């Protein structure tokens, strides 16, 4: 049986599609939102705002239970959030397991080569899209 490995081009295309889907989700909920085409190390992936809150997102998806985030991406996200007086989140989607979860940077695990986010932390500490756009603060019981 032939392996179904994706090429780097296919992976990038899939990532762009997830970013575009998320931008559409924001727009469908009365947010102004845009995907930064030159996203990656030097820019966050998505800006979204509704007049009450401004959000800056780094979008990550994974077929496994672990998402990795480069240190430079976290630094860039923090810097943009401070300069725009915005809230910074990792928009995490564990494919075939969950819907979008929005996780504050403080909940990322620190590693030698960068940061990571596991599925359980995203589910426990992250918030749903509806919680994010309604600006709700929810206490999670562990």
* Positions marked active-site: 39
Q: Please, are residues 92 and 101 in contact by the beta-carbon 8 Å criterion?
A: yes
Nearest by Cα to 91 from 24, 17, 18? 18
Return the bridge partners of 57, or none.
46, 89
- 8 A C-beta contact, residue 52 and residue 135: yes
SS3 71: helix
* Cα dihedral 92, 10, 34, 72 sign: positive
**Size of the chain, expressed as the number of residues it contains:** 142
């Amino acid at each position: 049986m032939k392996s179904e490995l994706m090429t780097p081009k296919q992976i990038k295309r899939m990532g762009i599609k997830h970013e575009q889907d998320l931008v559409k989700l924001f727009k469908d909920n009365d947010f102004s939102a845009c995907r930064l085409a030159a996203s990656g190390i030097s820019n966050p992936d998505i800006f979204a705002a509704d007049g009450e809150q401004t959000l800056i997102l780094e979008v990550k998806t994974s077929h496994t239970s672990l998402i990795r985030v480069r240190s430079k991406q976290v630094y860039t996200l923090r810097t943009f959030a401070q300069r725009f007086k915005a809230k910074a989140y990792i928009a995490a989607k564990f494919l075939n397991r969950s819907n979008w979860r929005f996780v504050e940077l403080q909940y990322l695990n620190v590693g030698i080569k960068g940061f990571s986010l596991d599925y359980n932390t995203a589910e426990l500490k992250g918030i749903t899209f509806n919680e994010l756009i309604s600006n709700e603060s929810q206490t999670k019981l562990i």
